[in-house]
Amino acid sequence: MRSGGWTRDQLILAFNLYCKIPFGRIHHRNPEIIALVKAIGRTPSAVSWKLANFASLDPSLRSRKISGATHGAKAEREIWEEFSGDWERLAYESEKLMIAVRHEEVVVDESLFPEGRTREAIVRVRVNQAFFRSAVLAAYDLSCCITGLKIPELLNASHIVPWRVDLKNRTNPRNGLCLNATHDRAFDCGLITITVDYRVKLSPLIKRAKGDAMKTFFLPYENCLVTMPSRFRPDPTFLRYHNEEVFRES
């Protein structure tokens, strides 16, 4: 196994993995960690240690005592800050590196390209959407933050500030919520929102709907606290935007 300092590419790969592995599965026996170990020539314990150092920098985890963490070495802090400054660019860079070390390829149906869009632009969107989904679902341990539903096929990574509005935070996990498909659609339409104190708020529009489905899927959750993620807690600034610009008050 390689010794010596970590390269920037290796640190970016480790941070990519930190984002996408549920918190309770960051250990040296995790198959995803072992696969990265083989790709970059590090030991399982070394990679696990780096992931623990990244965890120590996460504001959502500051209250936890993280085993093995050294409160984020300088190199890890620099990578964390680089991602935080431009999630869109760094998520794509990290995914490209991961695809390369795994000897994979992004397959795109070129017949579906919108007019005027290049292959690179389509690939970038697809890759970043996949990163965002993986990071958000991992943060919530594959569970809807409103209902607790744990069926991955029925879960979405919902943008708090819409994808089209904030380029740099499109792939920021703190701009995401893990929601089941029904509540994801309602959130996207502004029929529900999550307040800055992390409670579900229903729009008057949806409360006027009739039928048992309304009573089953929405009314029981009004004003309830959502389940907090293990990391990447939703940014109140993003929630405030959704409350004021997307949520439908009437």
Give residue 241's pLDDT band: very low, low, confident or very high (50, 70, 90): very high
Higher pLDDT, 186 or 31: 186
Q: What percent of the chain has pLDDT over 70?
A: 88
Cα 167 to Cα 141: distance, rounded to the nearest angstrom? 26
> Can you give the pLDDT at residue 56?
86
Q: pLDDT averaged over the chain?
A: 87
Report the pLDDT averaged over residues 111-133: 76
Q: What would the mean pLDDT of 51-74 be, rounded to a whole number?
A: 70
pLDDT score of 110: 54
CA distances from 250 to 10, 202, 207, 246, 247 (A): 50, 11, 10, 12, 9
Q: For 133-166, how does the pLDDT look when each residue is reduced to its tens digit (9 = 90+)?
A: 999 999 999 999 999 999 999 999 999 999 999 8
pLDDT score at 180: 98
pLDDT tens digit string along 93-108?
Answer: 999 999 888 877 665 5
pLDDT higher than 80, residue 178: yes
pLDDT category of residue 202 using cuts at 50, 70 and 90: very high
pLDDT at 121 over 80: no
Residue 212's pLDDT is 86
**Torsion sign, CA atoms 206, 212, 217, 220:** positive
Higher pLDDT, 245 or 65: 245
The confidence score (pLDDT) of residue 174 equals 96
Q: What is the mean pLDDT of residues 42-71?
A: 75
Tokens of 115: 């007019």
**b/e 137-163 (16+ beta carbons within 10 angstroms → b):** bbbbeebbbbbebeeeeebbbbbbbee
Domain range summary for the chain, segments of one domain joined by +: 8-105, 141-246
- Residue 217: band (very low, low, confident or very high) from pLDDT cuts 50, 70, 90: very high
